[in-house]
């Protein structure tokens, strides 16, 4: 069978793109791991934060909000968002960062309520006296049901005819007369276009197809689960962010999820947490809150993959015909998935931008991988003219 699209990658980007394409075309999806969503998707902190990320990601997140709040009945039976809120903290030496962040959030059109130290401690009684110089509350931050969102995409894509192959090792790649032919196990799968949604492996996959890597940065982030303070009900606490991204904390099933918000460059692979990173998270947490951490129940790490400009990459490769990029979701791939997928499908089908994105900062050209070719060409031309 000749498919219209062959999607590589069974994480959130891959399954959501396959779902969006399924109403337009025939689709097959390949995942190297035995299970879908094994790497970054399964290790997300699961927050919808509309002021998080670059302006492009903010636009994609806001365009995804209506779907997440009220998904179609055939997708998920209830809202995928639950109230949480976020508390932004700043010490005296972070006031400049705090003001910059407050202006950035306001520019994004997101509500931010400035709080006194007393008001902040009313929301989180364990905050240390004397630590805070400024605080603010962002009510629009919510928890995301990542499992519900992911399984909704998978289920609907399967119902629409998408074929899923896990443990799919690609042993051969060829292109002949406008068609890709991939050898996978003992079979050959053919498609008019390949969609590269392989997350941390996108640059490696591109090279298999003769495309140049974009210079994606793969960054590890560690997290851990600790006990909540004895006798303290934390279920209604907001997520807590340090204004300089030095740590964050989130209630999680009666306990607390903590992270040093680290970004350690690593090679693509099965990420594992570093003991030092978890120790740093505990230290920073205890400087801000009166919490004892006698033990860590479990820890893990996930991969966040960024393009050089930290915007998403959606579009056909500049050099290799029929090779399409869905890459660079960074730490925003869950909350922006519905709009990201619909945008990718529209560009693939040469259709107008989805209605929710029209009039935003996003254009097909602004997210295309060709922007990096143009940058490289401009740099080369400038260097040559200076000789």
Q: What is the CATH number of the domain that holds 276?
A: 3.30.9.10
E strand intervals along the chain: 2-8, 27-30, 47-48, 81-83, 86-90, 113-115, 134-138, 142-144, 163-165, 170-176, 179-184, 187-196, 217-226, 239-242, 248-252, 255-259, 264-265, 296-306, 313-316, 323-327
327 and 368 fall within a common domain? yes
Q: What's the pLDDT tens digit per position in 19-48?
A: 999 999 999 999 999 999 886 666 677 899
Q: Does residue 379 register a pLDDT over 80?
A: no
- Counting every residue written for the chain, the total comes to 387
| Confidence (pLDDT) at 107 | 86
Three-state SS for 330-352 is CCCCCCCHHHHHHHHHHHHCCCC
Could you say which of 287, 306, 325 is where a domain stops? 306
Residue range 342-353: average pLDDT?
96
Residues 242 and 359 in one domain: no
Contacts of 355 (CB under 8 A, 6+ apart): none
Specify the range with the lowest mean pLDDT, choosing from 36-40, 159-163, 344-348: 36-40
User: Is residue 265 scored above 50 in pLDDT?
Assistant: yes
When pLDDT is cut at 50, 70 and 90, the band that residue 385 belongs to is: very low
| Contact (Cβ atoms closer than 8 angstroms) between residue 367 and residue 312 | yes
Average pLDDT over residues 159-179: 97
Percentage of the chain modeled with pLDDT above 90 = 90
Please identify, among 249, 277, 306, the residue that sits at the C-terminal boundary of a domain.
306
- Are 173 and 198 members of one domain? yes
Q: Is residue 113 part of a domain?
A: yes
CA distance 105 to 242: 15
Token pair in block for residue 20? 């969006």
State how far the Cα of 48 lies from the Cα of 33, in Å rounded to an integer: 27
Q: Dihedral (C-alpha) 233, 235, 237, 240: value to the nearest 10 degrees?
A: 120
Query: For residue 134, is it within any domain?
Result: yes
pLDDT digits (tens, 9 = 90+) for 54-78: 999 999 999 999 999 999 998 999 9
Query: Taking residues 209-227, what's their average pLDDT?
Result: 97
- Specify the pLDDT at position 45: 72
- Same structural domain for residues 97 and 224? yes
Task: Provide the domain count of the chain.
Answer: 2
Q: How far are the Cα atoms of 64, 82, 199, 218 from residue 267, in angstroms, in the given order?
A: 30, 34, 12, 7
Residue 200 lies in a domain: yes
Which pLDDT value is given to residue 43? 67
Residue 31 belongs to a domain with what CATH number? 3.50.50.60
Q: Is residue 74 part of a domain?
A: no
User: What's the domain range around 130?
Assistant: 86-139+217-306
Q: What is residue 387's predicted lDDT score, i.e. its pLDDT?
A: 34
Residues 41 and 153 in one domain: yes
Judge if 114 and 132 occupy the same domain.
yes
pLDDT tens digits for range 243-260: 999 999 999 999 999 999
Same domain as 223, residue 211: no
One domain, residues 170 and 296: no
Domain membership flag for residue 286: yes
Res 192 pLDDT > 80: yes
Q: Are residues 234 and 295 in the same domain?
A: yes
Same-domain check for residues 26 and 124: no
Let me know whether 64 and 206 are in one domain: yes
Q: Give the Cα-Cα-Cα angle 314, 315, 318 (nearest 5 degrees).
A: 130
Q: What is the mean pLDDT of the chain?
A: 93
Enter the pTM of the model: 0.93
Q: Which among 276, 306, 336 is the end of a domain?
A: 306
Residue 100 belongs to some domain of the structure: yes
CA nearest 341: which of 145, 107, 73, 152?
152
The Cα–Cα gap between 241 and 1 comes to: 50
Q: Do 195 and 62 have their domain in common?
A: yes
Residue 355 located in a structural domain: yes
Considering the domain boundaries, does residue 173 fall inside one? yes
Distances (CA, A) of 59 to 70, 161, 219, 363: 18, 30, 23, 11
**By CB neighbour count within 10 A (0-12 exposed, 13-18 middle, 19+ buried), where does 122 fall?**
exposed
């Amino acid at each position: 069978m000749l498919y219209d699209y062959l999607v590589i990658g069974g994480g959130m980007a891959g399954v959501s793109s396959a779902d969006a394409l399924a109403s337009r075309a025939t689709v097959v999806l390949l995942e190297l791991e035995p299970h879908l969503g094994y790497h970054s998707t399964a290790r997300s902190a699961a927050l919808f934060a509309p002021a998080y990320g670059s302006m492009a990601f903010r636009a994609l997140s806001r365009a995804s909000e209506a779907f997440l709040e009220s998904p179609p009945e055939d997708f998920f039976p209830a809202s995928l968002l639950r109230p949480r809120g976020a508390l932004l903290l700043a010490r005296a030496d972070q006031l400049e960062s705090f003001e910059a962040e407050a202006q950035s959030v306001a520019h994004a059109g997101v509500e931010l309520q400035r709080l006194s130290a007393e008001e902040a401690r009313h929301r989180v009684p364990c905050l240390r006296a004397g630590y805070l110089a400024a605080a603010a509350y962002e009510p629009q931050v919510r928890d995301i049901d990542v499992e519900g969102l992911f399984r909704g995409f998978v289920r609907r894509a399967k119902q629409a005819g998408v074929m899923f192959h896990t443990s799919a090792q690609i042993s051969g790649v060829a292109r002949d007369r406008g068609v890709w032919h991939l050898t996978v196990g003992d079979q050959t799968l053919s498609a008019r276009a390949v969609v590269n949604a392989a997350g941390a492996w996108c640059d490696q996959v591109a090279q298999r197809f003769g495309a140049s890597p974009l210079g994606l940065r793969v960054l590890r982030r560690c997290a851990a689960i600790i006990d909540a303070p004895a006798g303290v009900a934390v279920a209604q606490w907001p997520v807590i962010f340090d204004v300089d991204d030095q740590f964050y904390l989130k209630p999680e099933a009666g306990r607390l999820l903590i992270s040093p918000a680290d970004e350690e460059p690593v090679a693509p692979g099965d990420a594992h947490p570093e003991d030092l990173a978890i120790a740093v998270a505990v230290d920073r947490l205890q400087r801000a809150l009166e919490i004892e951490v006698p033990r860590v129940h479990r820890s893990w790490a996930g991969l966040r993959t960024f393009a050089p400009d930290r915007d998403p990459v959606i579009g056909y490769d500049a050099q290799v015909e029929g090779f399409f990029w869905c890459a660079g979701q960074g730490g925003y791939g869950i909350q922006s998935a519905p709009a990201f997928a619909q945008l990718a499908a529209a560009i693939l089908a040469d259709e107008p931008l989805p209605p929710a994105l029209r009039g935003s900062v996003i254009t097909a050209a602004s997210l295309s991988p060709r922007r990096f070719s143009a940058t490289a060409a401009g740099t080369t031309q400038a260097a040559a003219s200076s000789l």
